[in-house]
Chain A
């Protein structure tokens, strides 16, 4: 559709009083020959909006609103089928700069130029049209998976469950009772796993494949094609996936120091659970009922040599088991040796109940060893409440072992597979030697695949620390790094049964929601509602594979030649591929190397005789942009030499913008984004990190041009430190002024 653009200049909120409005208007009408350019005292008021709405009615389809930040009055300036470009004259210009100042006017004019260029060159995104199958596949038929399946089905979706065992139910079906999660929280509670299995089997929206594992999942959200092995079923299509593959107990064979293996009477909490379910707790060595049981907490947990983390449930499990044993056999005593008893929330009631039991003893202790001694076991401990060094005799020892996720690190498996390919090819050279080493080191990953995704970046969800696959676990706990695939339950974090089930519901919501949103052609979190998607001009692709490698979400596969094959419903629209592409062939309708590059070029760079530096600020729109707004709201002043351009993520910054800016006379470029590293805050996981890597190349280029490396800097700023942002900008500005103007100015 032909672009019809209009510009609206707001005089409200100090703008009119601080700026030369007629000069500003001239930018639109004279420089850019925009016929429709209105000024108004309050554009966001009824009259102002009416003014724009009238033009829209008359065919205007691109409006440039120079007023406040786009974070304010968002709905007021949104019109159906109209591209809105907001020029932030308020927070970024008049509230943070001297009024009626030549430089402030120049700044406002530059921002308007950039806005007009965007308004001219960006297109209104159209929704991605892909067929979407609404079936949710749940991998894992334990309590988490069954809950996810039942909940997704109740929301109206078809569901397929894949369970590797012959029966549904998982661990829960092997337990007698659960940790009490309902008032009064004091007695071990009956489990409803049998009812859940029955409900699943009776639900005609749910198809169950037991004794099955996944051979292959090809495709993308809305169109995952699944092939199973093991049960002879036909391939089928699903839309989204909940991975509820659960946990396995930490390998007790590694716990020899706690007596595992020295006597049959040293058992794990899982073995204890099995005995309780069988209705009889015995000493495995002689079948006799134990008189004194020692529960050793944190067996292989909270231990840097084993599992450094806490599994969170073992304390409550031991309390439950002690209470159950005492109920079955009142003469048996239970000793619980712990580091800290962790029974949070209302679960404290169960701990209190156990403490009141005269046959259950709790003591803080560092267990130093378990030995065999004359028919019973001796547990040696230090730092106890009973004294310094204590030896406790017990005839049954229960090791409270922790939970290990049943996950597979897709990225690591991919490295293994790639290394195997290099070895198979057998071409001599250093690469072969490295590959051989890698194949040996990663051999444990043979057949480790769970989902078997046909993703270039690997067949499974990437995992983080301790093999748990998730990402933003505080604010957005289900956001995995593979769109439409949501880990749930103990594969994602060690959880008790009730929490795991609730987690299954949460993941099911995300799986249902992903399909709802994808069917509308929109992006899922965090750019919910975004209709834009990347377009690849593949005829110019040089098969460098950077886009495939750098996409945090595994969107892109590649053919044998290495040409990218985007799977667009996997895409989160962060633009990291666009930033990665050296050929600049990746673009969104409203965000592209060209649009941003031209916006930057629209800035008027004064010549070297003016002694007015120009700095470019590339600002992450998620945190840095709101931080600048907040500073503006507080009227904190920042350098008048900088011109900010918001970017979707620092990872979407194409270094060509930096190179072009410097060659067109900008004196420095400041990139402001979110924190990288283990505690990253980047909403796209590794955008900031990737920009750091790329800036290494930029520094190389600076060196070649004999420009100072300080001219390009990256800053990571948490949003709460917004008051520091103007300071950071000012320091950068001072530094550049000290270095001096860009010698390429004017060339």
Chain B
């Protein structure tokens, strides 16, 4: 008999899909895990996605199971609105300083929502990437975990924005005197699961992002397609809320590009093929154009590409988009590219453009790391770290959700080693 020893304490930084998976898998294997997430809820980027490719299934389905695993496992401690300020040490003996920002709402919150009408200050809805607003006291989204309201101090001192709400709460759940707490803790292993963010696409010359209302990026497109998004799932042009009759997907927007980001994010092709399906499901007549360099649909994902190619109203144009212009009267856009198979210049007018922007790694954020971490030229954490740190998912390389889950599961085992006795 073996394997009965202590499994150690693990710190997981980042509560997106990689962090959640690493935390759960390690805890179910016997470790004690502290899961630190900067937002007020777990789920990160995947919680904001509409559907996963290739099964076209909702992320909430997997998240629901994972959250059940988190909340019934006493070996997982979840800290939201928390960041790691400082970390030092090495395998078996890390010391972390964790900052927990005030939520202003305590565990007595029942999510009844009575407080909301007593607050008249609004904030941009960060769950919906700034599209729409919520009150200063809000539930991030209906399936959020922890299932608890939160007050956003960025739109005003909670003592002012939510004083009436605090009085109105029947359960004494609103605590406006709450302050940031600092916690020092020791861990045997640390997993960076800090994930990714989309690039600021306004920097991509010629693509019109930020200038033309109807040029959006792919993460916005997820929210525009989601039933719990700002348009209740209706894909529409931001300029006039009309459903687009034609749409162009611009692949490698800022990616595989010497001027911006050299790496390929590996998932944007599949994301656009999936989003083309969203469009098709809503409008059987819509014309869809995908401008690409290479369509990257590895493994069985190829089947999805094969199926999408059957769509007669979908055109694939091999060529990198050079320029997008807008007809300011109609909001229509002209996408210019060279079709390198025919050698012809293409200028395609469409109602809406989705820029398939890539994944920019978030590295170690603002955390001060004694001894530092090693990043590659793209900003991803190197596989072998001088201080023995582990990285999981998109902190390490740009990958899809399935690969994040695989990777995070494997990394969980590496973390167990560091705490095994």
Chain A residues with a Cβ under 8 A of chain B: 12-14, 41-42, 44-45, 68, 71-75, 133-135, 151-152, 154-158, 181-185, 205, 302, 304, 308-312, 338, 340-349, 352, 364, 383, 385, 465-466, 468, 472-478, 493-494, 499, 502-506, 508-510, 512-513, 515-517, 525-526, 528-529, 622-623, 626, 630, 633-634, 674-675, 679, 681, 683, 718-723
A346 touching B71 by the CB < 8 A rule? no
Q: Mind listing 10 A-B residue pairs with CB under 8 Å? A: A44-B108, A302-B302, A344-B264, A345-B266, A474-B55, A478-B406, A508-B410, A513-B30, A528-B73, A679-B56
A156 touching B2 by the CB < 8 A rule? yes
Given the complex of chains A and B, what is the CA–CA distance between A647 and B300 in angstroms? 33
Given the complex of chains A and B, what is the CA–CA distance between A338 and B318 in angstroms? 13
Chain A residues with CB under 8 Å of B73's CB are 528-529
Of the candidates B384, B397, B417, the one whose C-beta lies within 8 Å of that of A151 is B417
Is residue B234 within 8 Å, beta carbon to beta carbon, of the partner chain?
no
Given the complex of chains A and B, what is the CA–CA distance between A304 and B305 in angstroms? 13
B290-317 residues with Cβ-Cβ distance < 8 A to A are 294-303, 306
B2 touching A205 by the CB < 8 A rule? yes
Of the candidates A302, A505, A720, the one whose C-beta lies within 8 Å of that of B227 is A720
Chain B residues with CB under 8 Å of A364's CB are 318, 341
Given the complex of chains A and B, what is the CA–CA distance between A385 and B341 in angstroms? 6
A344 touching B398 by the CB < 8 A rule? yes
What's the minimum C-beta distance from B71 to chain A, rounded to whole angstroms?
5
Given the complex of chains A and B, what is the CA–CA distance between A133 and B1 in angstroms? 6
- Which of B119-127, B239-247, B374-382 lies at the interface with chain A? B374-382
A346 touching B298 by the CB < 8 A rule? no
Known contacts: A344-B264, A509-B410, A720-B226. The answer to whether A134 contacts B397 by CB under 8 A is: no
Q: How many A-B pairs fall under 8 Å by CB?
A: 258
A312 touching B142 by the CB < 8 A rule? no
A346 touching B397 by the CB < 8 A rule? yes
Q: Provide the B387-421 mask, 1 if CB < 8 A to any CB of A, else 0.
A: 00000000001110111011101111110110011
* Chain A residue at minimal CB-CB distance from B418: A154
A720 touching B60 by the CB < 8 A rule? yes
B307-352 residues with Cβ-Cβ distance < 8 A to A are 318, 340-341
Is residue B228 within 8 Å, beta carbon to beta carbon, of the partner chain?
yes
Which 4 A-B pairs have CB atoms at the shortest separation, nearest pair first?
A: A505-B410, A344-B266, A475-B62, A720-B58
Chain B residues with a Cβ under 8 A of chain A: 1-5, 25-26, 28-30, 50-52, 54-62, 64-66, 68-69, 71-73, 108, 110-113, 142-143, 147, 170-172, 226-228, 256, 262-266, 294-303, 306, 318, 340-341, 376-378, 380, 382-384, 397-399, 401-403, 405-407, 409-414, 416-417, 420-421
A345 touching B64 by the CB < 8 A rule? no
What's the minimum C-beta distance from B298 to chain A, rounded to whole angstroms?
4
B410 touching A504 by the CB < 8 A rule? yes
Given the complex of chains A and B, what is the CA–CA distance between A134 and B30 in angstroms? 14
Chain A residues with CB under 8 Å of B142's CB are 630, 633-634, 722
Given the complex of chains A and B, what is the CA–CA distance between A575 and B299 in angstroms? 34
Given the complex of chains A and B, what is the CA–CA distance between A243 and B410 in angstroms? 15
Given the complex of chains A and B, what is the CA–CA distance between A340 and B108 in angstroms? 55
Of the candidates B2, B300, B303, B341, the one whose C-beta lies within 8 Å of that of A157 is B2
B56 touching A509 by the CB < 8 A rule? no
A344 touching B5 by the CB < 8 A rule? no
A349 touching B62 by the CB < 8 A rule? no
B171 touching A74 by the CB < 8 A rule? no
Of the candidates A312, A477, A515, A722, the one whose C-beta lies within 8 Å of that of B402 is A477
Known contacts: A184-B377, A345-B399, A512-B29. The answer to whether A477 contacts B298 by CB under 8 A is: no
B410 touching A311 by the CB < 8 A rule? no
Known contacts: A154-B420, A720-B51. The answer to whether A509 contacts B299 by CB under 8 A is: no
A623 touching B409 by the CB < 8 A rule? no
Chain B residues with CB under 8 Å of A344's CB are 264-266, 296, 298, 398-399
A506 touching B377 by the CB < 8 A rule? no
Known contacts: A12-B171, A345-B399. The answer to whether A718 contacts B58 by CB under 8 A is: yes
Chain B residues with CB under 8 Å of A45's CB are 108, 171-172
What's the minimum C-beta distance from B383 to chain A, rounded to whole angstroms?
6
A626 touching B64 by the CB < 8 A rule? yes
What's the minimum C-beta distance from B303 to chain A, rounded to whole angstroms?
7
Known contacts: A154-B417, A513-B28, A529-B73. The answer to whether A308 contacts B410 by CB under 8 A is: no
A345 touching B263 by the CB < 8 A rule? yes
B412 touching A683 by the CB < 8 A rule? no
B265 touching A345 by the CB < 8 A rule? yes
